[in-house]
Structure 1
Amino acid sequence: MSKILFAEDEPALAEIVKETLELKGFSVVHTLTASATVAAYHQVKPDVLVLDVMLPDGDGFSIARQIRQNDQATPIIFLTSKSLPVDVVEGFESGGNDYLKKPFSIEELTIRIKALLSQNRLVLKPEKVEKQAVAIGNYQFHYPEGILIIAGQKRILTNREAEILQMLLLNRNNMLGRDLILNTLWPNNDYFSGRSLDVFIAKLRKYLKADPSVFIISIRGQGYKLVY
């Protein structure tokens, strides 16, 4: 059973998240303050940390920096109402692996936790994910239907576009390797398949440009990262 250390100072939210994650098979230790979280980290040795950014005696970023001094492996997910690019950058620079904006769905949090626990950061392949609408910034993405909606405007994605976006979403704020995308969605990993992938990424960037807080970053020669 995977152990989650969950730092959150809002009692109602904390109770709902803790109970739901436990029903999904996780062991959850809940803390209310930064100092209690650091103490619990050393005692519990969790598999994943889920940290609220704003805590009464500190913040999740400071906790992450402290932990990262000796532990580079344990995944860290930040929960926050902050969504400015500068806040996202600070979260990653402090050692975070993922960033979930409040309000969030428990299903989305569960997917993020499972993705980080999996060895290849892709615990669920696209075709295995249940039908659901997920927020991507100001967009609503319906998968596997492949519907992208913003401000009442609907776009129907092709099957390949929807599959790529779903893979990026499951690995949000983490690099998704080109080879992994190609080996999952294309029959072979050759030059022409790679060029085709580049075209699809360009199209997805165009579809997402209505919300400037959402962007797909290219990591040269390695892969892509969906950030928002």
Structure 2
Amino acid sequence: MARIAVVDDEESLRETLTYALEKEGHSVTSFEDGEKAWLAFKEEKPDLMILDIMMPRMDGLELCRKIRQEDEQIPLIFLSSRDEEFDRILGLEIGGDDYLCKPFSLRELCTRVKVLLRREQKGRQYFFSPTRPSSSQDRNQDQNLEICSSSYRAWWKGSVLPLSISEFRILKDLTEAPGTVRTRDQLILAAFPLDNYVSDRSIDSHIKRLRKKILQVDKEFDRIEAVYGLGYRYREGF
């Protein structure tokens, strides 16, 4: 059972999501605006949060920014309308792990919640472990990089990288074929396999965040290269 916070100003949607998630065995607390959710977050952190973008007092984007200043790991799912493409992209840029466009299937929401919680649960086991996993690691050609698909975790020169699920998928896709250019469309498919409404601009933002997180571990990291007009590649020559 996970503790989930649902933040949306639409009462009927809060009630529907609460019912569906509680039926899955989760404990759900709902909030009608971002300000109330933020105050509650400071008192006790949930295991996952579902945020509407457009809300009074404090919208979902501002709430996400505040949460990410306190916690890089908690999974965040945005809810948005299909005509709010800019907000969806911005939500991913500032730290959202996933988003769903309204109207959406409750079954799909529950599935995405389950995936994110499983990734986070396994990931935190390895994050706080003094040793890294060995049997479940993926093979790659860069000896500095270790990737574990079962936990959605990566290590650079022995230091864990606090990646979101989308960032992890992009890094894994790039490193599976070093030296090969991956187009933005290919990276979108790798990062968001269940979503057809992602702009290629969001990939640029994810690459920027991915580089930044690795640079925090190694200031000389320069493996991910932009290929003008095409996409990105993971540089060979290890």
Q: Is the 8 A contact 2:80 2:88 kept in 1?
A: no
Residues 15-34 of structure 1 mapped to structure 2, 5 A cutoff: 15-34=15-34
Could you give the per-residue CA deviations for residues 201-224 of structure 1, whole angstroms, max 9, x where no partner exists?
A: 59x89xxxxx886669565339xx
Structure 2 SS opposite 1:49: strand
Q: CA deviation at 1:86?
A: 2.3
What TM-score comes out, normalization by structure 2 length?
A: 0.54
1:10 aligned partner: 10
Task: Give the partner amino acid of 1:220.
Answer: R
Q: CA deviation at 1:120?
A: 7.4
What TM-score comes out, normalization by structure 1 length?
A: 0.56
Structure 2 SS opposite 1:100: strand
Task: Give the partner amino acid of 2:234.
Answer: G
Q: Is the 8 A contact 1:98 1:174 kept in 2?
A: no
User: Aligned pair 1:176/2:169, yes or no?
Assistant: yes
RMSD: 3.8
**Aligned equivalents of 2:120, 2:25: Cα separation in 1:** 21
Q: Is the 8 A contact 2:73 2:120 kept in 1?
A: no
Question: How many residues in Structure 1 have an aligned counterpart in Structure 2?
Answer: 159
Q: CA deviation at 1:57?
A: 1.3
Structure 2 SS opposite 1:56: coil
Q: Is the 8 A contact 1:62 1:94 kept in 2?
A: no
Could you give the per-residue CA deviations for residues 131-180 of structure 1, whole angstroms, max 9, x where no partner exists?
A: xxxxxxxxxxxxxxxxxxxxxxxxxxxxxxxxxxxxxxxx9955525758
1:71 aligned partner: 71
Q: Percent identity?
A: 34
1:99 aligned partner: 99
Task: Give the partner amino acid of 1:176.
Answer: R
Gaps of 5+ in 1: 123-170, 183-188, 206-210, 223-228
Q: CA deviation at 1:42?
A: 2.0
**Aligned equivalents of 2:99, 2:13: Cα separation in 1:** 17
1:148 aligned partner: none
Q: Is the 8 A contact 1:9 1:33 kept in 2?
A: yes
**Aligned equivalents of 2:199, 2:89: Cα separation in 1:** 13
User: Aligned pair 1:220/2:213, yes or no?
Assistant: no
Structure 2 SS opposite 1:77: strand
**Aligned equivalents of 1:8, 1:190: Cα separation in 2:** 41
> More strand by proportion, 1 or 2?
1
Q: CA deviation at 1:190?
A: 8.5
Q: Residues 97, 36 of structure 1: CA spacing in aligned structure 2 closer, same or farther, 3 A cutoff?
A: same
Task: Give the partner amino acid of 2:31.
Answer: T
